[in-house]
Amino acid sequence: MIPPYGYAIAALTVMLWILWSDSIRTRRASQMMYATRVALYLIAASILILNRVRYPYYFTTASTVLVVIAAAVGVFGAFWFGRRLVRRI
């Protein structure tokens, strides 16, 4: 079984990599891709928080901090891609 901090580190790695790759891309992705990314970022953040609330005895203080950081990156990523979704240029 993967420990709780493993999920948070994996989520952080994937979310930050997607944000980085989008920031260096010269061409814009389709609006459907941005909408999908917004949904995925919000779902990933909510699952991490739901697991923290549902199973508090699995989480140490360090795991809780990683979950909060990963959830914050998820909300920031959803905002980032949502802003690009509504941008016209």
**Domain residue spans in the chain?**
4-86
Cα 71 to Cα 28, 47, 82, distances in angstroms: 25, 9, 16
pLDDT of residue 88: 64
Cβ(81)–Cβ(38) below 8 Å: yes
pLDDT in tens for each of the 89 residues of the chain? 888 899 999 999 999 999 999 989 888 888 999 999 999 999 999 999 999 999 999 999 999 999 999 999 999 999 999 999 998 65
